[in-house]
Structure 1
Amino acid sequence: MFEETELLELFQRTLACDYDDDDAWEAVNALRASGARQVFDKAAEWLRSENPLERARAADILGQIGVGPGKKHAFPAEACDLLLTLLLNESHARAAASALVALGHIEDPRALPPIYRFVAHEDPVLRHAVAFALGCFAKDSAALPGLMVLMSDTDEDVRDWATFSLGVWGDLDSARVREALARRLGDDFDNVRLEAIAGLAKRNDKRVLPALIETLDATRGAPDAKLAEAACLMLGLRREPRHWKGPDYALALRHQFGCDAAPVWQ
C-alpha cells in the first residue's frame, strides 16, 4: 500500500516527456510491483483521461500489475476488460500501442480479435506492438496468421519481433512455419536473419545449415549465444564446447552434415 501522496507522486513520475525515460519506467515498475487495488483504481481512472500519455501509462501499469517472481497478474480479467474498451476507442498511437502490449502480457484470448485489427496499421509503432502482443500468444495457432504477415513487414524492427515470436518464443511447428522462417534467412536485417536461424535450428530443419555455417564462418571469437545454441542443436550437443569460436562450429557442422549447399533464399 502507498500513502496517497506517494501514490500520486509515482503516477506523476511516469509522465516524463520522453516515453522511454528511465525514471518514468522506474515509477511504472514500482506501481506494477505493488499489485495494490489502489494502484489499479488510479490506473483505471487514468484510462479515461484526456491526456494520451496518461492513458498510455495506465495501460503500461495495468498490463503487469502484481506480476513478479512467483506472482501472477493481480486483476487479469478486470484489466483485460478495461484495456479492450480503451483499445477499441483509442485514436492516439502511443496509447493504443501501450494497450496492445498490455493485452499481450495478460494473455487473455478475448484480446486476439481486437489485436488483429492493427496488423496492417500504417504506424510501425503499432504494428510492432501487435508483433509483441501476438508473440505472447505464440503457442496458440490463432496467432500464426498475424505473425506470418508481420514477418514480411516493411519495418525491420517489426519483422525482427515477429520472427523472434514465431521462431524462438513459440513452439508451433508445421511446414508453413518452417517455410516462413526459411524465407527470412535472406532478410536484409541481421537480427531478423539471426532469429530465423534460431527458429529453424530449434525445429532441426536442415535448411538452416548454409546460413548458419556462413554466419559462423564470418564470426570472430565466440559466436552470439543464439548462433552457438543453434549450432549445438543441429550438432546434437548438450552443451557448448569450451573455447570454440565461430569457425569451429562451422567446421563441425560441415563435417557432420557434409554440406556446403547454396543458401535456400537464392
Structure 2
Amino acid sequence: MAISIYSKNKEDIEFQYWERCRNLPEEKLIALLRHNNFKLSLEAAKVLQLKGGSKVIKLAQMDCFSNSYKRRVLAAFILGQINLNSNEEKVSLDILYNLALTDKSAIVRSYAVSSFGHRCNRAKKYLDSLLALAKYTVLDKSVNVRESTAIALAMFDNKASIPLLIKLLKDTNSDVKDWAAFAVNANGYDTPEIRNCFVSLLNENNFEVRYEAIIGLSKMKDKRVTQALIKELNKDIIYDEMVQAAAYLGNVALLPVLYEIEKKWGSFNELNTSIKILEHLKSKL
C-alpha cells in the first residue's frame, strides 16, 4: 500500500527528532520532556525508555501524578516497555491501571491502556489484570482508549477476550472496529457471533475494516463473504491478500474472476496458487 505524503513527512520529522535525541545525556533528555514540542518530547521519552535505569523509572512513576497531562502521557509511555524489576513492575502496573481508569485526560488513558498491554505482554501472568481493565475500557467514551484496548487485546491469544472484542467489533468508530477485527484474525478466533459481526463489517466504507472481515471470513470458510470478495477482486487495484483469500475460502465460484485477473495482469504466485487449489476442489465435485 502506498505511503501518503503526510505519513512520509511525519516519519521524516520523527527520524530527525530521534537523531537529535539518541546521543544526548540523560539530563538533557529529561529536560526535553518539558519541551513545548510534544513530538520532540516523545522521541526523548523513547530514548529514556531504551536507556532505562532507576532514576528514569522513579521519574516516570512520579510524573504519572503530574498536573501536566503531557507529562503524564510521557510517563505512561516510558513505563510501557522500560526494563523493570519485579517490585518496579508491580508498582508501575498499579499506576498504569489507575491512570487508564481514572485520568481525566483521554490521551493519558489511551497511553496508559497501551502501556499496560505492553507490560502484560512482557509478563503473561498479568493477563487477567488486562482483561479486568479491558471490561471497563471497551466502554470508555474516548475512541482512542477503545482503540488502544483493541490493540492491547491483539497481543494475546486468550479466548476470554472474545466477548470484549465482540463489543469492539460493534463499535461506532471504524478504527476501533479495524483493530478489533485485526485482533480476532491475529489470534484465529472463530465463533458464530464473530462471523456475524464480520458479515456486518463487509458493508463498511472503510477499506481496512472490510479487508479484515474478508480475510477473516475467508479463513473461516464462511461463504457469505463470496460476493464481497468477488467485488474486491474486480477492482482496478487488487491486493495479493485478496487473491490468497480465494484459496482460503475454497469456493470454486471464484474461479472465473481469478481467470479474468490472469488474463488482465498475467500470472503471479498468489494467483497461480489460488487457481490451482480451486481447480483441484472443482475436480472433486
Does TM, normalized by the shorter one, top 0.5?
yes
Residues 125 and 229 of structure 1: CA distance in aligned 2, closer, same or farther (over 3 Å): same
d(CA) in 1 for partners of 2:47, 2:87 = 14
Pick from 202, 214, 219 the counterpart of residue 202 of structure 1: 219
Q: CA deviation at 1:172?
A: 2.0
Which residue does 2:77 correspond to in 1?
Answer: 60
Q: CA deviation at 1:132?
A: 1.9
Q: CA deviation at 1:85?
A: 2.8
Q: TM-score, normalised by structure 2?
A: 0.71
CA RMSD of aligned residues (A): 3.4
Pick from 103, 106, 109 the counterpart of residue 119 of structure 2: 106
Percent identical residues: 27
Does the CA-based 8 Å contact 1:217-1:246 persist in structure 2? no
Which residue does 2:151 correspond to in 1?
Answer: 132
The residue correspondences of 1:116-195 to structure 2 (distance < 5 A) are 116-137=135-156, 139-166=157-184, 168-195=185-212
Residues 180 and 75 of structure 1: CA distance in aligned 2, closer, same or farther (over 3 Å): farther
Larger radius of gyration: 2
d(CA) in 2 for partners of 1:171, 1:125 = 24
Which residue does 2:268 correspond to in 1?
Answer: 244
Higher relative contact order (CA 8 A, sep 6+): 1
SS at match of 2:140: coil
Letter in 1 for 2:137: F
SS at match of 1:114: helix
When structure 1 is superposed on structure 2, of 24-33 and 225-234 the one drifting more is: 225-234
Does the CA-based 8 Å contact 2:101-2:136 persist in structure 1? no
Q: CA deviation at 1:252?
A: 6.8
Q: CA deviation at 1:256?
A: 6.4
Residues 15 and 162 of structure 1: CA distance in aligned 2, closer, same or farther (over 3 Å): farther
Which residue does 2:29 correspond to in 1?
Answer: 10
Pick from 58, 69, 73 the counterpart of residue 41 of structure 1: 58
Does the CA-based 8 Å contact 1:120-1:127 persist in structure 2? yes
Residues 251 and 98 of structure 1: CA distance in aligned 2, closer, same or farther (over 3 Å): same
Q: Would you say how many aligned residue pairs link Structure 1 and Structure 2?
A: 240
Q: Which structure dedicates a bigger proportion of its chain to helix?
A: 2
d(CA) in 1 for partners of 2:143, 2:101 = 18
SS at match of 1:173: coil
Q: Which runs of 5+ in 2 are unaligned?
A: 1-23, 121-125, 252-261
Q: Which runs of 5+ in 1 are unaligned?
A: 259-266
Q: TM-score, normalised by structure 1?
A: 0.75
